[in-house]
Amino acid sequence: MPTVLITGSSRGIGAAAARRFAAAGFDLLLLARDGQALAEQAAELAALGQRVEVEPIDLGQPERVAAGLADLCSRGLEPDVVINNAGMACTGALTTMALAQWQQLLQLNLTAVFQVCQCLVPRLRARGGGLIINVSSHAAHQAFRDWGAYCVSKAALASLSRCLAVEEREHGIRVSTLTLGAVNTPLWDSETVHSSFDRHAMLDSERAADALLYLAQQPATQVVDDLTLMPAAGAL
């Protein structure tokens, strides 16, 4: 029975992915900040017949990441697929953005992914390989006014993914990036995001989850380096 680990699993794309992977026969290692939401999610998904283990971890607190992941993986499940989905967005001009906000965004969108990979790559190596999927954005390749910090974080994530793929190929670890246009998720309700985009024209979380499952179901002999999924309406 394959196992998937999903960060930011309690809502949006992460929650949709957890449902998709459970329905496809994966056991689940789930983490998010909200412990109550995780407990409710675990009860819902366990009804599908899969094993579900959860751990409340705030990836915005770097000192807690390694211990939380070690605890989550100590319960008898080892990940075959790791999905780095958790992240945040904030809008505002680069020249006026508070340093603390910049650092928080970089921690969640980039450094936490680095930490998760550092913790889990040895486990994947021990199992003879595996797959890491990093959820990115088309903002990695474009510049958008007042989205500079987000663009920078996702561009760096794309580079991190490529570098990790080169380093870990000899160990049987594949790395894919799911590059998404705007997706209608709770991210747009965040206090740090100010936007007037038409959310009805955005991608749906369920379609993003379908794309993640597609990447995860590729045979070990091949890898999709990057899969880009955009709204038909364009970049909005």
For the chain, the domain total comes to 1
Alpha-carbon distance of 83 to 113, in angstroms, equals 9
Most confident range, picked from 44-48, 86-90, 116-120, 138-142: 116-120
Alpha-carbon distance of 69 to 79, in angstroms, equals 11
Confidence (pLDDT) at 187: 64
Any domain includes 234: no
C-alpha distances out from residue 148 to 8, 169, 196, Å: 23, 32, 17
Any domain includes 45: yes
Nearest one of 170, 184, 133, 185 to 7, comparing CA atoms: 133
**Which CATH number do you get for residue 197?**
3.40.50.720
* pLDDT tens, position by position, 54-113: 999 999 999 999 999 999 999 999 999 999 999 988 889 999 999 999 999 999 999 999
Confidence (pLDDT) at 115: 98
Check: pTM over 0.85? Answer yes or no.
yes
Residue 134, beta-bridge partner list: 84, 177
Active site residue 150: yes
The answer on pLDDT for 12 being more than 90 is yes
List of residues 6+ apart from 18 with CB closer than 8 A: 6, 9, 28, 30, 41, 45
Confidence (pLDDT) at 190: 63
What mean pLDDT is predicted for residues 211-226?
97
**Quick one: tokens of 38?**
């995780």
Instruction: Name the DSSP letter for residue 203.
Output: B
Confidence (pLDDT) at 104: 95
Q: Which of 56, 150, 181, 203 is catalytic?
A: 150
Confidence (pLDDT) at 172: 98
* pLDDT tens, position by position, 182-197: 778 766 566 665 666 6
- Which residues constitute the domain of residue 131? 3-229
Confidence (pLDDT) at 91: 87
Q: Which of left, alpha, beta for 113 (phi over 0: left; psi -120 to 50: alpha)? A: alpha
Confidence (pLDDT) at 23: 96
Residue 7, beta-bridge partner list: 31
* pLDDT tens, position by position, 142-174: 998 888 999 999 999 999 999 999 999 999 999
Confidence (pLDDT) at 220: 95
Any domain includes 117: yes
Any domain includes 181: yes
Any domain includes 95: yes
Residue type for 194, please?
A: H
Any domain includes 236: no
The answer on pLDDT for 203 being more than 70 is yes
The answer on pLDDT for 179 being more than 70 is yes
DSSP labels for 55-82? EE--TTSHHHHHHHHHHHGGGS---SEE
